[in-house]
Amino acid sequence: MVSGDFNLGNIDWSNSSVIPSKPDPSLHQHLLDILQDHNLTQVVDKPTRNDRALDLLCMSNPSLVNRVETLPPLGDHDIIFSEINLSFSKAKQSPHKVFIYKKADWEKIGKDLKETYTHMEEHQLELDIDNMWNNFKTKTTESIQKHIPTKLKADLIESRECKFPT
């Protein structure tokens, strides 16, 4: 779904074509090409400013749209109101480890990082960039695992249907 003020009013949306003899035909055609390339259908069928549809709602699945209306403007464009059926679901996750950052021992982590930096500085002539990065990454990961407590968490979000006005 893509929506907004496109300010390209020289398109006949009834047949998705550029209106002949109007300014910027290539720009208007470019928008039509993008919509076609991405399988998007423009669903606003009423003008949003004077006699033009400048504010668009483009959907890859227009059958999800229950209704589209224009409401009185706040500025110089009518407002698009749409009711769209969307369904979200998330499967139950396996228990996974999450860090409890508010209980972290930041002083010890800072001390570990300072020691790592000092070691890298002392051995900078002996180590290439890959070894320095691997050393930094390993030491940082070890410090995080050592000084930030964790807990197991399993999330379950039920499937629910939502209607969003846009």
Per-residue tens of pLDDT for the chain, all 166 residues: 999 999 999 999 989 999 999 999 999 999 999 999 999 999 998 889 998 899 999 999 999 999 999 999 888 899 999 999 887 666 666 787 889 999 999 999 999 999 999 998 888 888 888 888 998 999 999 999 999 999 888 654 444 555 555 5
Whole-angstrom distance, CA of residue 166 vs CA of residue 4: 10
What are the extents of the domains in the chain?
2-84, 97-159
According to the model, what pLDDT value does residue 94 have?
Answer: 75
**Tokens describing residue 122:** 């002392």
Nearest in space to 3 (alpha carbons), one of 55, 41, 60, 63: 55
Which are the contacts of 44, defined by CB distance < 8 A and separation ≥ 6?
Answer: 13, 53, 55, 56, 57, 68, 70, 80
Nearest in space to 56 (alpha carbons), one of 130, 1, 127: 1
